[in-house]
Amino acid sequence: MINKIKASVLTIIVIVVSVFMGKSFLNRYIFAEVQPVQPIKFNHRSHVTNNKIPCKYCHIYAKRSNVSGVPSVERCMGCHSSIKNVKNDKGELKKLVSHWENKKPIAWTKVYNLADYIYFSHRSHITVAKIDCKECHGDVAKMDTVRRVPNINMGWCLHCHSDNNGPTGDCWGCHQ
């Protein structure tokens, strides 16, 4: 009888842990928030489509690093300091000016967040393979608020590599 109770308790524990781990995995990699809230509402459509600013102007490390980088306050103010009435703005520009005046960096929220054990290089994909940003990030030029379009996971990456004759077969290429 005691063995049955122990087995039942153990089964319940395994189920609870499995559900918790499964839910955590699903929430992080499958159903994670796809349009995170940013500290400043940045309108990509306005900047990219209307003002013709290329992705790599703001994401300055994409061509030469593993990460693309996010725009600094200095980069934003390089343009916005010359816009008339920027200090009188009551909305998002006011937040930008506040960061500038207080010498405080903008804590942008990551839209795509790969697991720590994944090695990904923007440089390899953009400079070497010459892949356009929208292949992975969707047509950001048409987004008011940037959101995660594809669910980038191992299957998605392998499918893309297969379709484009990319490097395959070496697990350690991505898992370092």
Q: What is the pLDDT of residues 126-147, one digit of tens each?
A: 888 888 998 899 898 998 888 8
The predicted model gives 81-91 an average pLDDT of 70
Q: How far apart are CA 106 and CA 39, in angstroms?
A: 7
81, 74 in Cβ contact below 8 A? Answer: no
- Joined together, the tokens standing for residue 31 give 């159903």
34, 158 in Cβ contact below 8 A? Answer: no
29-33, 51-55, 71-75, 130-134: least confidently modelled range:
29-33
Per-residue pLDDT, 18: 63
Q: How far apart are CA 89 and CA 109, in angstroms?
A: 23
Which alpha helices (DSSP H) does the chain contain, by range? 2-25, 44, 55-58, 73-80, 92-101, 122-123, 134-137, 154-163
pLDDT band at 31; cut points 50, 70, 90: very low
Specify the 3-state DSSP secondary structure of 32: coil
pLDDT band at 107; cut points 50, 70, 90: very high
Each domain of the chain, given as residue ranges in start order, spans 1-31, 39-71+110-176, 72-107
Residue 103 has pLDDT above 50, yes or no: yes
Per-residue pLDDT, 19: 61
- Residue keyed to tokens 């122990």: 6
The predicted model gives 46-62 an average pLDDT of 91
